[in-house]
């Protein structure tokens, strides 16, 4: 291999990585459909259902099971009953609708107690803080509760839950 070939290969790889990284849609740029659905992936990368299950069940991430019951996770203790059960959620909602509900359920259900997981504007929150850390809001580090990829991972997991 000559140095020109290696240089071209590295440049191509860098461009692919840069394009992939820039494919993430920022919260302010999300295109909504009927205030419930987000038809386009937030990342351009398919979600990973296994990672989505981790985010959904981890108390330090999505903490979804604190409010929702999920029969597919019998080993996860202290599941909630405040929100609707996840059983059959993949049959009730489309992927685009699930993406919208996970990102910001309050758009479709204004009285929802579900956190807005994909918003980076502190003005959109009643009491902004540093995620689930109990630390005060810091304008230099404030970000979404879940990343765009975590949203996609949770959606990829939820679409698998088609049984009631």
At 86-139, the pLDDT tens digits run 999 999 999 999 999 999 999 999 999 999 999 988 888 777 777 666 677 788
Torsion angle defined by CA atoms of residues 76, 51, 67 and 158, in that order, rounded to the nearest 10 degrees:
-110
Domain carrying residue 132: 26-158
19 in a domain, yes or no? no
- pLDDT at position 138, please? 81
Rounded-to-integer distance, Cα 83 and Cα 109, Å = 12
Round the average pLDDT of the chain to a whole number and report it: 85
Residue 53 clears pLDDT 70, i.e. is over it: yes
| Number of domains the chain contains | 1
In a domain, 6, yes or no: no
Burial (Cβ within 10 Å: 0-12, 13-18, ≥19) of residue 78: exposed
Which DSSP state fits 33?
A: B
For residue 44, what pLDDT band results from cuts at 50, 70 and 90?
very high
**Can you give the pLDDT at residue 129?**
73
Specify if 103 maps to a domain.
Answer: yes
Burial class (CB in 10 A: 0-12, 13-18, 19+), 152: buried
Residue 12: predicted pLDDT: 39
Asked, for residue 124, whether it belongs to a domain, the answer is yes
Q: What is the pLDDT of residue 91?
A: 97
The reply to whether 10 falls in a domain is no
* CATH of residue 59: 1.10.760.10
Residues with Cβ within 8 Å of 5's Cβ and at least 6 positions away in sequence, in order, are none
Domain assignment of residue 45, yes or no: yes
Helix (H) or strand (E) holding 148: helix 148-158
- pLDDT of 9 strictly over 60: no
9 in a structural domain: no
Looking at residue 110, what is its pLDDT? 92
Cα–Cα dist 56/152, whole Å: 12
Mean pLDDT value of segment 14-33: 71
Q: Please say if the pLDDT value at position 156 is more than 80.
A: yes
Residues β-bridged to residue 6: none
């Amino acid at each position: 291999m000559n140095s020109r070939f290696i240089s071209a290969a590295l440049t191509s790889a860098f461009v692919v990585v840069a394009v992939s990284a820039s494919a993430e849609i920022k919260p302010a740029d999300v295109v909504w459909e009927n205030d419930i659905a987000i038809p386009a992936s937030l990342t351009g990368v398919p979600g990973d259902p296994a990672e989505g299950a981790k985010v959904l069940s981890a108390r330090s991430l999505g903490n979804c099971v604190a409010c929702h019951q999920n029969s597919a996770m019998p080993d996860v203790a202290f599941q909630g009953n405040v929100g609707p059960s996840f059983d059959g959620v993949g049959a009730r909602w489309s992927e685009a609708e699930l993406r919208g509900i996970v990102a910001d359920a309050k758009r479709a259900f204004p009285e929802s107690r579900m956190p807005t997981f994909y918003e980076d504007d502190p003005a959109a929150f009643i009491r902004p803080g540093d995620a689930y850390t109990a630390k005060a809001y810091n304008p230099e580090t404030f970000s979404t509760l879940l990343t765009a990829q975590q949203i996609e991972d949770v959606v990829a997991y939820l679409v698998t839950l088609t049984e009631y």
